[in-house]
Structure 1
Amino acid sequence: MARIGTAEVIASEAVGSPDVDTALGDLQADLNLIFARTRSLWRESAARVHPDLQVAGYKLLTFIARAGTANAHELADRFEMDKSVISRQVRMLEELALLESRPDERDGRLRVLTATPQACTALAEVRREYGTRLQAVIDELTAEEIQAASKVFRLLSEV
């Protein structure tokens, strides 16, 4: 018969305890607020880049701008979107003069997508403003609190 160590007993007791259940409920509620705020920030940021820019287009544009270039296949894989959705968003981004498309030199069937200078400028301004707001929050935390938050986010990303 396997012997159960003290740490395992404490851990198994803690998982079902009312304190842990309450803490998990609070964490889920806080995560819901973060996700709702993130969706709101995406809408606000998209509108700041261009009044007609949709959130899906904003996400694609920010990825392309950070990566330097991308193609529709990469975007579909990265964002788990149907290729038809990607095509519509790319077309919209081109119409808004936020994205340029050219044939891939290695594979003429593919198009290389690049953010326009106008898009890069607008995205940099949005990032700068958000960075300032984020820094104000971070400045109130200790290094240990930042490390603990980072650990939680990393672990949650693996769920």
Structure 2
Amino acid sequence: MVTSEAPASLDVDTALGDLQTHLNLIFARTRTLWKESAARIDPELQVGGYKLLTFIERAETANAHELAERFEMDKSVISRQVRMLEDLGLIESRPDERDGRLRVLTATPSARAVLAELRRDHATRLRTVVAELTQDEIHAASKVFRLLSEV
């Protein structure tokens, strides 16, 4: 005997499969956007360095240990990326006042300016994409992404 729950379950499974497919496309698009954004800052800037730079800028300060934990990267990778960011004039490093073994990293004014420009461009693109959605639909989408980010 087929219950009324079977078709509903299939509908949910189909919807979840569709959601998963679109999430994969979003992740792929995000990687492309990171690559494009890094290149706009400097052709030598790698995606990993771009992600570290945006984190440092948003956090206002960070250290290599925090970055390694946050991004689950080996400290040697963080060191190379930090060195590149310094060489490109995108971050500054100074001794930590509380622990002299650590270096406090901050984004330079020029890095903050170019990141602000990128954010404006990204916001404009996002506004264009979601222009056909209602405010309630945007809130619902935001809720889904918040829930997914907590998994």
Distance 1:16 1:53 in 2: 48
Count of aligned pairs between the two proteins: 149
Aligned ranges 1:53-68 → 2 under 5 Å: 53-68=45-60
Offset at residue 120 of structure 1 (A): 1.2
Are 1:48 and 2:40 an aligned pair? yes
CA deviation after TM superposition for structure 1 residue 14, in Å: 6.1
Q: Please, which runs of 5 or more residues in structure 1 have no aligned partner?
A: 1-8
CA positional deviation for 1:16:
7.2
What is the DSSP-based 3-state SS (H/G/I as helix, E as strand, rest coil) of the residue aligned with 1:112? strand
Paired-residue identity, %: 77
Which residue matches 1:109?
101
CA distance in 1, matches of 2:86, 2:27: 29
> Which amino acid in the other structure matches residue 77 of structure 1?
E
Distance, in Å, in 2 between the alignment partners of 1:61 and 1:43 is: 13
C-alpha deviations, 1:76-114, integer Å up to 9, x for none? 111111111111100111111111111111111000101
Deviation of the 1:119 alpha carbon: 1.1
Tell me how far apart the structure 2 counterparts of residues 86 and 35 of structure 1 sit (CA, whole Å).
23
SS at structure 2 position matched to 1:132: helix
Give 1:155 deviation, angstroms: 1.7
Partner of 1:155: 147
Give the TM-score, by structure 1 length: 0.87
Which structure's CA Rg is the greater one? 1
Shift of 1:15: 9.0
Q: CA RMSD in A?
A: 1.8
Mark the CA change 1:19 to 1:68 in structure 2 (over 3 Å): closer, same or farther: same
Contact 1:15 1:21 in 2 (8 A): no
CA separation of 1:99 and 1:20: change in aligned 2, threshold 3 A? same
Summarize deviations over 1:36-66 as a string: whole Å, max 9, x none. Answer: 0000000000000111000000000001111
Q: Could you tell me how far apart the structure 2 residues matched to 1:149 and 1:14 are?
A: 27
TM-score (normalised: structure 2): 0.91
